[in-house]
Amino acid sequence: MDKDHYRLFEKCKDIKQMISVEKHKDGNFSEEHSQGSSLNIQKVPENGTKVSEKEVESIKEELEKRHKEEIKEIEEMCKKKIEESNEVVKEEQKEKGEMRKKIQIYAQKLKAKKDVEANYLREKELRKKIQNDFVDYRGRI
* Residue 100 pLDDT > 60: yes
pLDDT at 31 (0 to 100): 42
* Residue 40 pLDDT > 70: no
What does pTM read for this prediction? 0.38
User: Alpha-carbon distance 92 to 21, whole Å?
Assistant: 57
Kindly report the length of the chain.
141
**Residue 22 CB contacts under 8 Å (≥ 6 apart), including other chains:** 29, 30, 33, 40
pLDDT band at 124 (very low <50, low <70, confident <90, very high): very high
User: Alpha-carbon distance 55 to 51, whole Å?
Assistant: 7
pLDDT band at 70 (very low <50, low <70, confident <90, very high): very high
Cβ pair 18, 42 in contact under 8 A: yes
pLDDT band at 5 (very low <50, low <70, confident <90, very high): low
pLDDT at 20 (0 to 100): 40
C-alpha separations of 8 from 13, 35, 48 in Å: 9, 27, 20
